[in-house]
């Protein structure tokens, strides 16, 4: 009984916070556009089987009679050289892109933030030096090259590509969290809690981490676009999702050879890629606005 | 020049925010005469700084709206001036010193370069000043505020100076132009007692030397008492009392003024009072009528409905309180 | 186990002193040199008294509090709490000791975690020290704490950003009192607040002190406030105590030139107060940086009664009248 009353009042205050956040978010028109674009993409990705009419286009399918068709009513984005519907493939490609971001960011954030928390809290100890030097090593190698090298060693498929990108990506979260933690490490509210005698685990995850959340969430939203881009770059060179799985990068690569005659083969996936990245970037800006306290 | 240097007439200001409007300033009336030192006391949230920012027109104009009133400086309405004239005014006629000198100085430029810029864009506008002349003026300004070794300080960054020295640099910068009005917003808060004492004496000397008026804003009542000629008491967005400073502190009339003065710990001992019951009103839904009425010991029915204007009790002592209508000069028990 | 000594009903206190500080030094090594923040000080706090520590920036008063509570380890010297040596850092102290000595910091805005609710902030000490062992007991105790500092009960659901500075400070005070401590260190608890809120908080602090027989170390730079709060006062300058006396004696008969300078500089409101102040001593010069402490008596560069010996030799503390200690060559010579 008490718990429900507790949560009721808590919800009402939380609802006010949600409304306030929406207000801050909606001041910028572009953020709303970003939000709409992301919603559309999510919707398309989730309901792909119900929207598309040529589901066979994402599997091993050839239909040379319908190949190289320009955009038409039955094939809104045209067909590729195998006769597959590009519209269907684009929609399904969204799924791959979103899946990739989700997996990569889940792994990166978990590893990176935890390491950053620990290194920052125990600043100037051997833990700090060890973690941050490893981070520096990873950071000194350009992301794409590192990902390529790892992919070259491992078998070529989507899973290994995601692992490769994660191995590169965690470092940014580690660095960022480290920066925030070292700056609030000496604040009175952390000292006060230490003086009370709270355990380290509690301090790290319940007292320090919540103060990093706003920056982490903002970065995650902005990173979705970047991860998708890197994934597409990798599949552009043949890594990542393997045929016949539809993936934006490989679709763009495959169609590049046939420019400018069969322009629709690269054009539509490219536009789709731009939309995804732009949408998440604009959304990320809006989320950043929610966490920014403006003078008032 | 006849008349007042600065006149704020019935100024009302609001901010548009999430949840509605913050009706911050509610008919502010405020005058500063020539060569007059005016104090403005009130606690955090009384909107003193907002009033000053409105005068300097440095409020964030996206969310702040002035619903009525005028601000007359030397007879001209600041609110109607275009940006160019306002900038001119800020350069040459009005200067402001802020509470936190560290925040007022740019940390990545040397003191010298910041002073140079001020000289170039205020006094130097229209005249061709050589580098040497600018430097000389800078050194002179620093010497005036009694900073030791001004030549060396020109090359320092703000972080290399102590708080007191930074505040003195800010004062020096304020006095670089031939200003008419100096607004000092809590000038001693971040300083130690002995340094604060020095700075205030310095301010007094500088002000007496030139024909300058001062608005001194503070919640430290003692500081205001020692320097000013006349003092306003501000509460929740409007002035509630004004009198000659000595008169105000010996005979405060508005219940808020009385409470405020009573609450300051006295050197003579006597223990601590319990504070003023209640809270500063939130501007989203301020109380109707007199904004102080929820906390007032002497509240009457009319206080809850209608806002009192200034009633004259004595020459130059006015109170915005219904108790003093019809020229009563004491609160009847 | 040391537990027995710490319990309030436990060992009898020597001279009724709950805390004794002897020859305490705390130096910091920085890029600019060694900062002698606390440079050999002695004082004691009796049980149930409010001991005031006054000084300007660089005096080291905050460092004293931080060292006592265990944020720093003393460079040299002894801190004794209830006859037990506690000259170590917080992480080496027992949980019992952590319960007994609590601190309230100066800035309410950064003393409590903005991402935690008031409930979470106040229940943490209860949980850590097993004062209440289930959710219901803790909620009850938190509500009691809020009531004690006169905050409304439903504040348990709010967050720091929704409440004002004075209320945040009251939460800090409630948190400090949650473990039922004996000694509370208050580092300028009201400096960041308005006078009316300051009055409310100080009034409440004094009431709580009487109700629970607490001992306070009260730090402030505001002498008028100190006059109404403390029973004994010590004034610090650049890491050393200049004068130490009972509150009434300190204000009635200030002996050290720095005390006189400070007292004569404070702005007061009434004429009675003005008469009480010592003759005006104009403060001159800057406060030296603690990295560059002048030789001899650290105050000589600003002293209006400076003598030759002052720049050469550092004076020692002498008891001029009973309970009134001064560290100044003027009084050493007269003794």
C222-239 residue pLDDT tens: 899 999 999 999 999 999
Number of structural domains chain B divides into:
1
Q: How does the average pLDDT of chain B come out, rounded? A: 84
Asked if the Cβ–Cβ distance from B15 to A296 is below 8 Å, we say yes
Question: Mutation test of the interface with chain A: which of B13, B15, B17, B18, choosing the one with the most A Cβ atoms within 10 A?
Answer: B18
Chain B residues lying within 8 Å of A23, measured CB to CB: 18
What fold characterizes domain C3-48+56-93+101-107+223-334? Rossmann fold (3.40.50)
At C156 the pLDDT is: 87
Measure the CA angle with vertex A145, ends A139 and A148; round to 5°: 125
B131 part of a folded domain: no
- Which helix (DSSP H) or strand (DSSP E) does residue C33 occupy? strand C33-46
- In 3D space, the residue among B251, B262, B245 whose CA is nearest the CA of residue B297 turns out to be B262
Q: Extract long-range pairs of C45-48: CB within 8 Å, 24+ residues apart.
A: C45/C17, C45/C18, C45/C19, C45/C20, C45/C183, C45/C215, C45/C217, C46/C15, C46/C16, C46/C17, C46/C18, C46/C215, C47/C13, C47/C16, C47/C17, C47/C18, C47/C182, C47/C213, C47/C215, C48/C209, C48/C213, C48/C214, C48/C215
Question: Mutation test of the interface with chain B: which of C106, C197, C252, C267, choosing the one with the most B Cβ atoms within 10 A?
Answer: C267
- In 3D space, the residue among B251, B196, B258, B263 whose CA is nearest the CA of residue B223 turns out to be B196
Structure token pair of residue B213: 């008026």
Asked if the Cβ–Cβ distance from A192 to C105 is below 8 Å, we say yes
- pLDDT tens digits, residue range A32-69? 999 999 999 999 888 888 877 777 777 777 878 877 88
Taking the CA of residue C264 and the nearest CA in chain B, the distance in Å comes to 9
Taking the CA of residue C98 and the nearest CA in chain A, the distance in Å comes to 6
- pLDDT tens digits, residue range B71-100? 888 888 888 888 888 887 887 788 888 888
Neighbours of chain C (3+ CB pairs under 8 A): A, B
d(CA C196, CA C198): 5
User: What are the extents of the domains in chain C?
Assistant: 3-48+56-93+101-107+223-334
- In 3D space, the residue among B142, B48, B135, B143 whose CA is nearest the CA of residue B98 turns out to be B48
- Residue B199 pLDDT exceeds 70: yes
In the structure, how many helices (H) and strands (E) does chain C have?
A: 13, 12
Task: Find, in chain A, the residue whose alpha carbon is nearest to that of B15.
Answer: A296
Contact predicate B29/B10, CB 8 Å = yes
ipTM entry: 0.84
B55 part of a folded domain: yes
At B125 the pLDDT is: 65
Chain A residues lying within 8 Å of B15, measured CB to CB: 296
Asked if the Cβ–Cβ distance from C276 to B197 is below 8 Å, we say no
Question: HSE on the CB side for B173, CA within 13 Å?
Answer: 27
- pTM of this structure: 0.84
Selecting from C103, C110, C125 the residue whose C-beta is nearest the C-beta of A189 gives: C110
**Rounded average pLDDT over B128-140:** 84
- Ordered DSSP codes for B248-267: HHHS--SHHHHHHHHHSPPT
- In 3D space, the residue among C41, C203, C177 whose CA is nearest the CA of residue C103 turns out to be C177
**Rounded average pLDDT over B167-189:** 84
Structure letter (DSSP) for residue C266? S
- In 3D space, the residue among B243, B258, B241, B239 whose CA is nearest the CA of residue B296 turns out to be B258
Q: What architecture (CATH level 2) is domain A22-56+74-291?
A: Orthogonal Bundle (1.10)
- pLDDT tens digits, residue range B10-51? 888 888 877 788 888 888 888 998 888 999 998 887 888 888
Q: How far is CA C95 from CA B269, C102, C171, in A?
A: 39, 12, 22
Residues counted in chain B: 333
B68 part of a folded domain: yes
What angle, 0 to 180 degrees and rounded to 10, lies between the N-to-C axes of helices B255-263 and C195-212? 50
Name the pairing type of β-strands C17-30 and C33-46.
antiparallel
User: What are the extents of the domains in chain A?
Assistant: 22-56+74-291
d(CA C155, CA A278): 42
- pLDDT tens digits, residue range A93-127? 888 888 889 999 999 999 999 999 999 999 989 99
Query: Based on C-alpha coordinates, what's the Rg of chain A?
Result: 23
Chain C residues lying within 8 Å of A190, measured CB to CB: 113
Chain C residues lying within 8 Å of B190, measured CB to CB: none
d(CA A49, CA A88): 9
Flag residues of chain C having pLDDT under 70: 1-12, 333-335
Taking the CA of residue B15 and the nearest CA in chain A, the distance in Å comes to 8
If DSSP codes are grouped into helix, strand and coil, which group holds residue B82?
Answer: coil
- Backbone φ, ψ for residue B282 (5° rounding): -85, 145
CB pairs under 8 A between A and B: 10
Chain B, window 168-227: residues with a beta carbon less than 8 angstroms from a chain C beta carbon: 192-198, 219-223, 225-226
Asked if the Cβ–Cβ distance from C194 to B164 is below 8 Å, we say no
Of A7-11, B124-128, B321-325, the range with the lowest mean pLDDT is A7-11
Contact predicate C111/C55, CB 8 Å = no
- Residue A296 pLDDT exceeds 50: no
Peptide bond into C306 cis (omega under 30): no
d(CA C35, CA C30): 7
Question: HSE on the CB side for B108, CA within 13 Å?
Answer: 0
Chain C, window 132-191: residues with a beta carbon less than 8 angstroms from a chain A beta carbon: 136, 139, 154, 157-158, 172, 175, 179
d(CA A179, CA C261): 44
Contacts of B236 (CB under 8 A, 6+ apart): B26, B45, B46, B47, B280, B281, B283, B286, B291, B292
Structure letter (DSSP) for residue B280? P
| B330 has a chain A CB within 8 A of its CB | no
Contact predicate B92/B178, CB 8 Å = yes
- Backbone φ, ψ for residue A278 (5° rounding): -65, -45
B153 part of a folded domain: no
- Find the domain containing B61 and state its range: 6-93+177-327
d(CA A172, CA A176): 6
**CATH number for the domain that contains residue B319:** 3.40.50.300
- pLDDT tens digits, residue range A8-22? 444 556 677 777 778
Selecting from A2, A188, A199 the residue whose C-beta is nearest the C-beta of C110 gives: A188
Contacts of C127 (CB under 8 A, 6+ apart): C138
């Amino acid at each position: 009984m008490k718990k429900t009353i507790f949560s009721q009042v808590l919800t009402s205050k939380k609802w006010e916070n949600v409304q306030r956040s929406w207000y801050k978010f909606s001041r910028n028109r572009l953020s709303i556009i970003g939000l709409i674009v992301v919603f559309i993409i999510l919707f398309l990705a989730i309901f792909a089987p119900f929207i598309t009419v040529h589901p066979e286009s994402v599997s091993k399918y050839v239909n040379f009679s319908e190949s190289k068709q320009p955009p038409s009513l039955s094939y809104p984005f045209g067909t590729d050289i195998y006769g597959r519907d590009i519209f269907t493939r684009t929609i399904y490609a969204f799924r791959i892109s979103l899946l990739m971001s989700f997996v990569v960011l889940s792994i990166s954030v978990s590893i990176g933030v935890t390491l950053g928390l620990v290194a920052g809290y125990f600043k100037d100890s051997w833990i700090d030096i060890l973690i941050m030097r490893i981070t520096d090593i990873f950071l000194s190698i350009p992301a794409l090259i590192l990902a390529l090298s790892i992919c070259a060693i491992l078998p070529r498929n989507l899973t290994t590509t995601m692992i490769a990108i994660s191995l590169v990506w965690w470092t940014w979260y580690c660095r960022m969290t480290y920066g925030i933690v070292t700056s609030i490490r000496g604040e009175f509210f952390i000292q006060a809690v230490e003086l009370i005698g709270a355990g380290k685990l509690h301090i790290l995850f319940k007292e320090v981490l919540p103060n990093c959340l706003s920056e982490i969430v903002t970065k995650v939203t902005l990173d979705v676009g970047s991860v998708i881009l890197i994934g597409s770059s990798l599949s552009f060179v043949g890594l990542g999702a393997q045929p016949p799985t539809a993936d934006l990068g490989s679709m763009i690569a495959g169609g590049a050879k046939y420019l400018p005659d069969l322009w629709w083969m690269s054009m539509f996936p490219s536009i789709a890629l731009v939309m995804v990245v732009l949408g998440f970037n604009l959304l990320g800006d809006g989320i950043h606005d929610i966490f920014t306290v403006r003078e008032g | 020049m006849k008349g007042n240097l600065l006149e704020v007439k019935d100024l009302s200001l609001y901010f548009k925010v999430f949840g509605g409007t913050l009706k911050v300033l509610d008919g502010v009336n405020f005058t500063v005469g020539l060569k007059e030192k005016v104090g403005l006391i009130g606690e955090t949230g009384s909107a003193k700084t907002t009033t000053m920012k409105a005068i300097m027109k440095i409020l964030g104009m996206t969310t702040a709206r002035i619903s009525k009133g005028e601000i007359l400086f030397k007879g001209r309405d600041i609110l109607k001036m275009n940006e160019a004239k306002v900038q001119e005014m800020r350069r040459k006629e009005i200067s402001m010193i802020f509470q936190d000198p560290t925040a007022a100085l740019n940390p990545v430029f040397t003191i010298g370069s910041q002073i140079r810029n001020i000289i170039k864009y205020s006094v130097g506008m229209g005249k061709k000043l050589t580098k040497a002349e600018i430097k000389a003026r800078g050194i002179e300004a620093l010497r005036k505020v009694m900073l030791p070794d001004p030549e060396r300080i020109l090359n320092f960054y703000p972080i290399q100076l102590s708080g007191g020295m930074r505040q003195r640099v800010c004062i020096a910068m304020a006095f670089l132009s031939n200003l008419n009005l100096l607004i000092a917003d809590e000038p001693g808060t971040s300083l130690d007692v002995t340094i604060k004492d020095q700075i205030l004496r310095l301010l007094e000397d500088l002000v007496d030397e030139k024909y300058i008026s001062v608005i001194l804003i503070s919640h430290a009542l003692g500081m205001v008492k020692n320097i000013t000629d006349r003092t306003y008491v501000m509460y929740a967005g409007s002035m509630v009392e004004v009198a000659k400073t000595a008169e105000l502190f010996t005979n405060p009339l508005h219940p808020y003024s009385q409470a405020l003065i009573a609450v300051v710990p006295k050197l003579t001992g006597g223990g601590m009072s319990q504070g003023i019951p209640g809270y500063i009103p939130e501007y989203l839904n301020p109380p109707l009528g007199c904004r102080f009425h929820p906390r007032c010991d002497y509240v009457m029915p009319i206080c809850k409905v209608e806002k009192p204007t200034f009633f004259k009790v004595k020459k130059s002592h006015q109170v915005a309180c219904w108790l003093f209508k019809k020229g009563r000069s004491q609160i009847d028990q | 186990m040391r537990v027995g000594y710490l319990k309030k009903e436990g060992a009898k206190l020597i001279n009724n002193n709950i805390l004794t500080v002897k020859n305490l030094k705390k130096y910091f090594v920085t890029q600019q040199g060694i900062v002698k923040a606390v440079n050999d000080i002695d004082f004691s706090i009796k049980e149930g008294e409010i001991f005031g520590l006054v000084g300007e920036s660089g005096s080291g008063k905050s460092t004293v509090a931080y060292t006592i509570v265990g944020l720093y380890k003393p460079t040299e010297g002894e801190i004794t709490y209830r006859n037990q040596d506690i000259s170590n850092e917080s992480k080496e102290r027992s949980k019992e000791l952590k319960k007994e000595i609590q601190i309230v910091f100066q800035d309410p805005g950064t003393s409590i975690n903005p991402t935690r609710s008031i409930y979470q902030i106040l229940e943490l000490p209860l949980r850590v020290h097993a004062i209440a062992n289930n959710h219901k007991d803790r909620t009850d105790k938190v509500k009691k704490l809020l009531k004690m500092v006169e905050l409304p009960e439903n504040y348990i659901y709010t967050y720091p950003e929704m409440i004002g500075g004075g209320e945040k400070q009251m939460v800090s005070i409630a948190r400090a009192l949650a473990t039922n401590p004996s000694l509370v260190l208050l580092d300028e608890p009201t400096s960041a607040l308005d006078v009316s809120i300051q009055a409310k908080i100080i009034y409440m602090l004094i009431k709580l002190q009487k109700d629970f027989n607490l001992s306070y170390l009260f730090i402030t730079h505001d002498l008028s406030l100190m006059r109404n709060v403390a029973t004994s006062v010590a004034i610090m300058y650049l890491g050393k105590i200049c004068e130490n006396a009972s509150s009434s004696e300190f204000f009635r008969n200030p002996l050290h030139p720095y005390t006189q300078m400070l007292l004569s500089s404070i702005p007061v409101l009434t004429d009675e107060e003005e008469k009480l102040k010592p003759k005006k001593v104009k403060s001159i010069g800057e406060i030296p940086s603690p990295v560059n402490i002048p030789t001899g008596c650290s105050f000589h560069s600003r002293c209006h009664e400076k003598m030759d010996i002052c720049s050469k030799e550092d004076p020692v503390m002498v008891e001029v009248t009973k309970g009134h200690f001064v560290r100044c060559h003027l009084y050493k010579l007269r003794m």
